[in-house]
Amino acid sequence: MKNILKEKLKKAWCPEKTAEMIRTKIPENLESREKGVPESPISTVAAFESSQWQAFGLYEHDDFRILPSTVTFFDNLRIKKLFYQQSYDGVEVAVVASLLSGAGEGKFGIILGHNTEQSPQSQNFYLFTIDKTEHFTLQKIGRAGIKTLVNEIVKPGIISNFSKVHLRVKSLNNFILMYANGELLKIASVDEPVKGGVGLYSDPHISVEFSQLQISPVTQEQKQ
């Protein structure tokens, strides 16, 4: 009788299942808190200062242009990556991305979590992008290759015009929160806290203008 009772208890309590329930519960709680939360009013960057950005392997005026209020990536064969040189323990980035030209499925978006002291910085970071096929993705870029963490379709009604989208991404400890036009798209759990710099990205063969940039540190109060 005791052996039968032990077996029932063993089946009822499964460490793996319990751990999985905990992992899935955290994003749900975080999502309920984040819905309807406005962008952080604390902004350290609200304009583009060319001396604060680095573009490895690119040429200003041929590949991109930086003005105080905009960054434009030009339509050519190169991948465009522009890295801001300030590092954050937690950060929120918002920017308006306008697709000026280009055909196909070209992606554009926000870089997150690169090491500002590493050279080249273009080897390790997270990349949140969107494209005209109504997909958004989150990828981890590293020396070993590219790992796709999220690849989903944007829900109907969030984006009416994929040629102009207000993108926003936030890092909260081990979570990356992705938004479009003020709507939360997805919360992704990653292996370790996301720390480092931020940046902008576009695929080859498209021209994209980024404007209304806001970069804000995530405070301890926001993390709780």
Whether the CB-CB separation of 135 and 151 falls below 8 Å is answered with yes
Distance between CA 54 and CA 200 in Å, rounded? 11
Which residues have a Cβ under 8 Å from the Cβ of 196 and sit 6 or more positions away?
Answer: 87, 88, 112, 113, 114, 115, 116, 125
Distance between CA 211 and CA 130 in Å, rounded? 16
pLDDT in tens, 169-195: 999 999 999 999 999 999 999 998 999
Distance between CA 54 and CA 171 in Å, rounded? 22
pLDDT in tens, 41-91: 455 665 688 888 989 889 999 999 999 999 999 999 999 999 998 899 999
Whether the CB-CB separation of 50 and 64 falls below 8 Å is answered with no
Whether the CB-CB separation of 43 and 214 falls below 8 Å is answered with yes
Domains and CATH numbers, the chain: 35-223 (2.60.120.560)
**What tokens appear for 147 in the block?**
């790992």
In terms of pLDDT, which residue wins out, 18 or 191? 191
Q: Which residues pair with 139 in a beta bridge?
A: 127, 148
Q: Look at residues 219, 215, 216 and name the one whose alpha carbon lies nearest to residue 48.
A: 215
Q: What is the pTM of this model?
A: 0.79
DSSP letters spanning 115-147: -TTSSSGGGSEEEEEEETTSEEEEEEEETTEEE
